[in-house]
Amino acid sequence: MTTPQGRAGTKGVPRPRREQQILAAATEEFGRHGYASASLAAIAARVGVTKTLLHQYFGAKQDLFLACLNPVGDQLLDAMRAAMAEGDATAARTPLLVLRAIFSALDGRREGWFVLYDASLPADSEPARTAARYRTAIDQLAATGTADLLRATGSPDPLDADALKYAWRGLVSALVRWWINHPDQSPDAMADRCARLFAATGRAFD
């Protein structure tokens, strides 16, 4: 028999399961609306639980955010490191390998990308610092990639490399956003699509 709504007491959902539900909902909410606009009440409502439970399980809003951020950041970093080690650094297919790794790492929690790249984090806060650490680590990977690319094509301006790093990040963000709007697409299908697009645009600018 189902527990009647609105009454206190356990609903039979064990803590680890609830925590996972909450993390999933929070990741989506934070990713969609950004930290500042996301509301704890909305996250709780999505899980079918009250605000209080979030605090009891994860602490303050910042702590909940960190609990969403850390796994996403770790998984992304690992995936990207593995992908960049796979192909030799100067190969033109490295970017596509990295993309495929990102899509795979993000599958099931696609909004996590925007948790990492949330611009609405309060400055001088733990979430902002942690996210910045992850971003720096990722950027460093991307920097070696873009630097290799530019060196191979002979453009020595360091500002160019920095701008290319930004562009690459923005490109990935846009692709992930498109992916979120097309939930039926598998990670591999996305990677294949990107390969097609890269090839097509590359041909146009040769």
Asked whether position 124 contacts its own copies by CB under 8 A, the answer is no
Asked whether position 6 contacts DNA by CB under 7 A, the answer is yes
Q: Are 27 and 112 in contact (CB under 8 A)?
A: yes
Near its own copies in 177-206, by CB under 8 A: 177-178, 182, 193, 196-206
- Look up residue 8 and give its DSSP letter: -
Q: CB 157: neighbour CB atoms within 10 A?
A: 9
Near DNA in 169-188, by CB under 7 A: none
- Options 34, 53, 162, 195; binder of DNA; rule CB under 7 A: 53
Asked whether position 8 contacts its own copies by CB under 8 A, the answer is no
CA-nearest of 44, 50, 40 to 8 is 50
18 vs 193, beta carbon nearer DNA: 18
Letters for 26-55 (x = contact with its own copies by CB under 8 A, - = none) are: ------xxx-xx------------------
Q: Are 37 and 120 in contact (CB under 8 A)?
A: yes
CA angle at residue 34 from 100 to 23, to 5 degrees?
A: 70
13 vs 147, beta carbon nearer its own copies: 147
